[in-house]
Structure 1
Amino acid sequence: MTATNNQLSQYGLALHTTSSQLGLALSDFNQEKKISTWEFGQDLSTHLHIVLQDFLTPHSWSDLVLIAVAKGPGSFTGTRIGLATARTLGQQLNIPVFPISTLIGIASYRKATTPELFPEDHLIAVQLPARRQQYFVAIYEIKDAELLSYLPDKIMTPECWEQTLANLKKPYRQIEATEEELGKTASSILDVAIKHWKQGKRPSFEQAHPFYGQNPV
């Protein structure tokens, strides 16, 4: 009976804390999906745990079978808070923690909401503003409806990024993302993690590391 109940109560939870927004997503891997965002700014750490508990209701922590977390790039402080929370939950609940790139979350979200803009034979080039007039960038290849890494997360000057795009041998769609839209991509962070989970991947909380892309100033 216990195994049956657990099978009926499998949920994945995603945290996105790499900007001034907090984004949370909860899914039963099927029809049920819950997504919310909050503008907490620098008060994120004050509200996070209370909001998490309320967001999970009426489900319990024991219903979770995976945690997904945006690992960056993004805010140093926010990213650290999200990773620390996800790692703690993963350790306490003994469930896998999937650190997912902020940039693939953006690409996946845009592809899901406007699929007509992203045909199978195109690349997706994502840029997000960084400090010192630079960009966080990544490029993904669409193959069999999956996003595969074509250029891993990097930080580049606008000139270097422009040259990188000019050298591409495949058609691409460019995404110029902003921090203001990151919270709502928690749903896509969770979708990517669920795909990995269904493929049999089970990363431990100890493998959840941030990607900052640059040193704090």
Structure 2
Amino acid sequence: MKILALDTTSGACSVALHCDGRTAEQFVKAERDHTRRLLPMVDRVLGDAGLRLADLDALAVSRGPGSFTGLRIAISCAQGLAFAADKPVVPVSSLAALAAGARRAHPEWRGGAIASALDARMQQLYWSVYGLEAPNDSLLPEAVEDPDQVAQRLRESDLPQPLYGAGPGWHYLAPSSDRAGAPLREADLESAIHARDIAELALPLLQGGAAVRAEELEPLYLRNEVTWKKRQKIRAR
């Protein structure tokens, strides 16, 4: 299988090619210039492998949650490439990819569950929890919530233990903050989303029939859904 994966969800830009069991990646930390960087990185990983878009089985991209602008850049690029090459696209959870990357970087965490958290701004987190056996399936629904809500839900949950944290969103509940911390054995706030993890998570999804046509690809913002529900409640009063 040959899968090209893209990500610009947060403060990094990455492109990876999973080719017959091996994965090569271009990764750069960059808060801006994702639009300018992305296509040259695509050309580089394909060129290094001696492949063209037509040689791919599919593309994969982070479908969110994450920043509005970051998600739109990678998704728009994936749509354009997939449409031009007539290839399907596999949408992958950014939070699942974050957890997979942390598990790869921390082999000592392999026995526990990993809670992924991205900074959703407005004093909130995008977060969920992932286990080892089914890395694409969240153990709790992906959500955008206040830090205190997150900490309470984790304390009241019966999630597998030990529980580790991955991602910059956990800074809201770090020991240095003025909030009660989440019940995490350890947290890596420097964990980032990597396209290589998106590519590898996309493989079983592609084999399971989860790919979509380019025009069907949609980002998952979460915050828009929450805002809409709040508006509905207000109108119902």
The within-5 A match list for 1:31-180 is 32-57=22-47, 58-119=50-111, 122-143=112-133, 146-172=135-161, 173-178=163-168
Are 2:62 and 2:94, in contact at CA under 8 Å, matched by a contact in 1?
yes
Query: Bigger relative contact order, structure 1 or 2, given CA contacts below 8 A and separation 6+?
Result: 1
Q: Structure 1, residues 117-150: CA drift from partner, whole Å, max 9, x if none? A: 132xx4332222221111111122333x644222
Are 2:96 and 2:135, in contact at CA under 8 Å, matched by a contact in 1?
no
Partners of 2:160 and 2:31 lie apart in 1 by 37
- Find the counterpart in structure 1 of residue 14 from structure 2: 23
Structure 2: gaps of 5 or more residues: 170-189, 225-237
- The worse-fitting range, judged by mean Cα deviation, of 45-54 and 102-111 is 45-54
- Code of the aligned partner of 1:107: A
Using the size of structure 2 for normalisation, the TM-score is: 0.76
Work out which of the residue numbers 198, 208, 213 in structure 1 matches 2:207.
198
Q: 1:146 to 1:47 in 2, by over 3 A?
A: closer
- Find the counterpart in structure 2 of residue 4 from structure 1: none
Q: 1:127 aligns to what SS in structure 2?
A: strand
Count of residues paired in the alignment: 201
Are 1:29 and 1:194, in contact at CA under 8 Å, matched by a contact in 2?
no
Work out which of the residue numbers 192, 195, 198 in structure 2 matches 1:182.
192
Residue 181 of structure 1: CA displacement?
4.0
Work out which of the residue numbers 5, 24, 32 in structure 2 matches 1:14.
5
Q: 1:142 aligns to what SS in structure 2?
A: coil
Structure 1: gaps of 5 or more residues: 1-9
Are 2:6 and 2:78, in contact at CA under 8 Å, matched by a contact in 1?
yes
- Code of the aligned partner of 1:77: T
Partners of 1:162 and 1:41 lie apart in 2 by 28
Residue 176 of structure 1: CA displacement?
3.7
The structure with more strand, counted as a fraction of residues: 1
Q: Structure 1, residues 48-91: CA drift from partner, whole Å, max 9, x if none? A: 22332223102111111111111222222121010011111222
Are 1:12 and 1:29, in contact at CA under 8 Å, matched by a contact in 2?
no
Is 1:214 aligned with 2:223? yes
Query: Matched residues, percent identical?
Result: 29
Partners of 1:158 and 1:50 lie apart in 2 by 38
Q: 1:24 to 1:181 in 2, by over 3 A?
A: farther
Q: 1:138 aligns to what SS in structure 2?
A: strand
Partners of 1:194 and 1:141 lie apart in 2 by 18
Using the size of structure 1 for normalisation, the TM-score is: 0.83
Residue 35 of structure 1: CA displacement?
0.9
Please list every run of at least 4 consecutive aligned residues from structure 1 whose deviation after the TM superposition is greater than 6 angstroms: none
Are 1:16 and 1:182, in contact at CA under 8 Å, matched by a contact in 2?
no
